[in-house]
Amino acid sequence: MTPVVAIVAPGNMGAGVAARLTENNVTVLTSLAGRGTASVDRARAAGMQAVDDRALAEADFLLSIVPPGDALGLAKRLAPVLSAANTKPVYVDCNAVSPRTALAIADVIAPTGCRFIDAGIIGAPPKPGSTNTKFYVSGPDAPLFAKFNGFGLIVRALAGPLTAASSLKMSYAGITKGFTALGAGMMLAATRGGSAEALKAELKESQPALLTFFDRMVPSMYSKAYRWVAELDEISEFVGKDRPENAMLSAAARLYEDIAEDFDGDKDEIAAMDKFLGR
């Protein structure tokens, strides 16, 4: 049978996943409570049906796809209606959170009677025909989500503990987003030091793959920097407060805070990075 799926919320990723599912004849529900016009437009374009929280709890699967800092709060908000539901959805936490946070969310969901799956999404919001967005899932009930391989998603179940998917997501994002932060920071430092042109020329000559990576990742980061702050804080917590890399990843979060502020302000740092990359 074709499952009914609830997705909260209709951000870029949530709406992208919804569009892929609705293209495959899956009914997708969402909540638009407190959401702005852009969310309403994304939900409509993705074929999502706006319902109240009680109706969300009647879906077969409930996918939490929100900014990392909102993941635990969403679980707490939905817990009462999930507890009251006669039929229980499978709660799939798809957020970029540390295993510790994922366990806290699982603890909130457990008393509701819902089964819980830890998930990590790697890749950009899916588009028609794309194959670069994958759902990694873990936990005893992870095989239940594998059915979505037949409904337009790419799902890979992981062996190991309940939070194996979150561990993978943290590790992967720590590399890609941490490396993006390092590149952005050095572009800005070289600009302040008067060596930006020389640095770019040397990267082009000796590290062309790095320059290609930065050219792709840094500009696309500007508008998302505000969301990456909480994610990098989750990653720094994941590696452990007693590890030296904790400070490195926490510093990346603070850099993204600065870039997010600059993006909403005069965009001086954005302009410097764009100039470095020749945009």
pLDDT in tens, 176-206: 999 999 999 999 999 999 999 999 999 999 9
The C-alpha atoms of residue 46 and residue 24 are separated, in whole angstroms, by: 12
Q: Could you give the 3-state DSSP secondary structure of residue 90?
A: strand
Query: What is the distance of C-alpha 159 from the center of its chain?
Result: 21
Q: How confident is residue 128, by pLDDT bands cut at 50, 70 and 90?
A: confident
Structural domain boundaries, residue 40: 4-162
Q: How confident is residue 52, by pLDDT bands cut at 50, 70 and 90?
A: very high
Query: Which of 162, 189, 204 delimits the end of a domain?
Result: 162
Eight-state DSSP code of residue 160: S
Same domain for 86 and 146: yes
Looking at the chain, the whole-number percentage of residues with pLDDT higher than 70 is 100
Eight-state DSSP code of residue 126: P
CATH number at residue 228: 1.10.1040
CA proximity to 126, closest of 250, 16, 272, 257 = 16
Question: In this predicted structure, what is the pLDDT of residue 129?
Answer: 78
Question: In this predicted structure, what is the pLDDT of residue 67?
Answer: 94
- Average pLDDT of span 14-42: 95
Eight-state DSSP code of residue 270: H
Give burial (CB, 10 Å; 0-12/13-18/19+) of 108: buried
CA proximity to 29, closest of 72, 62, 2 = 62
pLDDT in tens, 63-112: 999 999 999 999 999 999 999 999 999 999 999 999 999 999 999 999 99
Same domain for 145 and 174: no
- Which two structure tokens, joined as six digits, stand for 36? 């702005």
Same domain for 138 and 261: no
126: number of Cβ within 10 Å: 24
C-alpha torsion sign, points 48, 52, 57, 59: negative
Question: In this predicted structure, what is the pLDDT of residue 249?
Answer: 98
Question: In this predicted structure, what is the pLDDT of residue 33?
Answer: 87
Query: Which of 162, 181, 211 delimits the end of a domain?
Result: 162
Q: How confident is residue 255, by pLDDT bands cut at 50, 70 and 90?
A: very high
- Which two structure tokens, joined as six digits, stand for 127? 């588009």
Same domain for 269 and 184: yes
Instruction: Phi first, then psi: give them for residue 51, nearest 5 degrees.
Output: -140, 175
Same domain for 171 and 150: no
107: number of Cβ within 10 Å: 12
Same domain for 76 and 43: yes
Query: Which of 105, 133, 162 delimits the end of a domain?
Result: 162
- Average pLDDT of span 129-142: 93
Average pLDDT over the chain reads 97
b/e for 38-63, b at 16 or more Cβ within 10 A? ebeebbeebebebbeeebbbbbbbbb
pLDDT of residue 127 exceeding 90, the answer is no
Question: In this predicted structure, what is the pLDDT of residue 24?
Answer: 95
- Average pLDDT of span 225-239: 97
Same domain for 223 and 136: no
Same domain for 180 and 141: no
pLDDT of residue 130 exceeding 90, the answer is no
Same domain for 102 and 36: yes
Same domain for 227 and 140: no
Give the number of domains in the chain: 2
CA proximity to 120, closest of 82, 73, 160, 169 = 169
The C-alpha atoms of residue 61 and residue 42 are separated, in whole angstroms, by: 20
β-pairing verdict for 61-64 and 4-8: parallel
Same domain for 104 and 195: no
Q: Could you give the 3-state DSSP secondary structure of residue 263?
A: helix
Same domain for 220 and 83: no
Interaxial angle between packed helices 99-109 and 71-84, expressed in degrees from 0 to 180 and rounded to the nearest 10: 20
CATH number at residue 75: 3.40.50.720
Question: In this predicted structure, what is the pLDDT of residue 152?
Answer: 95
Query: What is the distance of C-alpha 73 from the center of its chain?
Result: 16
